[in-house]
């Protein structure tokens, strides 16, 4: 398999053309805001996009207004390697459910003497600007959000802050109102396939295209489809959903057992449960297309009426939305499975 490319520039970055053009125009006209909230599905390149903007602003060979970092200078190499001293990256610690306030404003014994907000106010090492990229902002609690407010209201001169999340609705109004919101959409299947090949995750383009067609435009979902454990579970799940009548107990138990295997991290369980519901949605939507005589990506389908399938799709989408609202998994899965059992 091919190895990942060493450097990236805007000519090799995949997707999000409208957002690229917007930033290029804003930088060229010197009308760039200081704080941005990037929202959209997971695994579509929001974090990478923020890193590319950072590289554009910090490149020592090419002026930002050209919107084409050289990719070869020390600054570009450091941004690519996540080692640039003026690019501050923060994300939820492994095993934690929330983005820790300590990462933002320092530990209790050193509040505002360490952490992101403190470091952002320090003089840039390069003499140009400081750039902060805060990932998983969806997990920021009220205390953490309040600790960020002063920095968002009065960002240090020349600084840039990127908050990376999945939905505007998951952010507190006090955070959302202080940011320029940039919405990102899913990648095309062609872009996902090309990215899978480029990153060396598949053996050939044909395999990449098969995976991409089920990826929902997310490299994160595509990674899951390449995971043997998930592939096995997907076969079990589809077998239960295609069974007639549907076995409510088997469906609930198989999902709960699979979530237990993921581990105790609540965020990982949420993401896995959303993936499970996405597999069901794929089946229902493929069944809808196939039963209407349209092209379907799978020969497997449920012989139900369009109204019945629409109802299943709606209920599954509702369940998926509830996952992000921290509804307890067990009753959510049971309620969803009961709805399906009554219909299938």
Q: What are phi and psi of 39, to 5 degrees?
A: -130, 150
Residues in a beta bridge with 161? 35, 132
Pairing of strands 87-90, 131-134: parallel
pLDDT for 297: 55
Q: Are 114 and 100 in contact (CB under 8 A)?
A: no
- pLDDT per position in the chain (344 positions), as tens? 434 445 688 999 999 999 999 999 999 999 999 999 999 988 999 999 999 999 999 999 999 999 999 999 999 999 999 999 999 999 988 767 788 899 999 888 888 789 999 999 999 998 789 999 999 998 888 888 899 999 999 999 989 999 999 888 888 888 999 999 999 999 999 999 999 999 999 999 999 999 998 888 999 889 988 988 888 898 889 888 888 788 888 889 999 989 988 877 777 788 889 889 988 888 888 888 877 777 655 567 788 888 888 999 999 988 887 886 666 788 899 999 888 888 77
Predicted local confidence at residue 96, as pLDDT = 73
- pLDDT at residue number 4: 41
For residue 200, what pLDDT is reported?
Answer: 93
Note the pLDDT of residue 270.
83
Class of domain 17-183: alpha beta
State the angle between helix axes of 46-58 and 17-28 in degrees (0 to 180), rounded to the nearest 10.
Answer: 30
- For residue 183, CA distances in Å to 37, 146, 280 come to 8, 23, 26
The ranges assigned to domains in the chain are 17-183, 227-343
């Amino acid at each position: 398999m091919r190895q990942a490319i060493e450097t990236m520039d805007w000519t090799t970055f995949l997707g999000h053309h409208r957002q690229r053009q917007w930033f290029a125009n804003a930088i060229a006209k010197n009308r760039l805001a200081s704080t941005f909230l990037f929202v959209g599905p997971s695994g579509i390149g929001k974090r990478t996009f923020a890193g590319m903007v950072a590289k554009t602003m910090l490149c020592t060979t090419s002026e930002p207004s050209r919107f084409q970092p050289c990719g070869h200078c020390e600054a570009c190499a450091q941004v690519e390697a996540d080692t640039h001293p003026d690019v501050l990256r923060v994300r939820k610690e492994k095993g934690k459910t929330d983005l820790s306030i300590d990462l933002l404003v320092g530990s209790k014994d050193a509040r505002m003497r360490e952490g992101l907000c403190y470091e952002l106010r320090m003089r840039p090492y390069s003499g140009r600007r400081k750039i902060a990229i805060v990932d998983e902002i969806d997990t920021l609690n009220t205390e953490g959000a309040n600790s960020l407010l002063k920095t968002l209201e009065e960002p240090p001169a020349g600084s840039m802050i990127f908050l990376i999340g999945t939905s505007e609705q998951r952010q507190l109004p006090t955070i959302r109102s202080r940011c320029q919101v940039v919405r990102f959409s899913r990648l095309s299947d062609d872009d996902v396939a090309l990215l899978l090949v480029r990153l060396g995750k598949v053996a050939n383009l044909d395999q990449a295209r098969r995976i991409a067609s089920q990826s929902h435009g997310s490299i994160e979902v595509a990674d899951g489809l390449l995971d043997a454990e998930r592939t096995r579970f997907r076969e079990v799940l589809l077998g239960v959903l295609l069974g007639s009548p549907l076995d409510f107990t088997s469906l609930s138990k198989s999902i709960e057992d699979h979530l237990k295997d993921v581990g105790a991290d609540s965020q990982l369980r949420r993401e896995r449960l959303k993936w499970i519901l996405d597999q069901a949605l794929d089946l229902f939507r493929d069944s809808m297309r196939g039963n209407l005589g349209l092209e379907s990506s799978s020969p497997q389908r449920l012989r139900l009426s369009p109204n019945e399938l629409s109802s299943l799709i709606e209920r599954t989408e509702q369940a998926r939305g509830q996952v992000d609202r921290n509804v307890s998994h067990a009753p959510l899965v049971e309620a969803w499975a009961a709805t399906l059992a009554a219909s299938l």
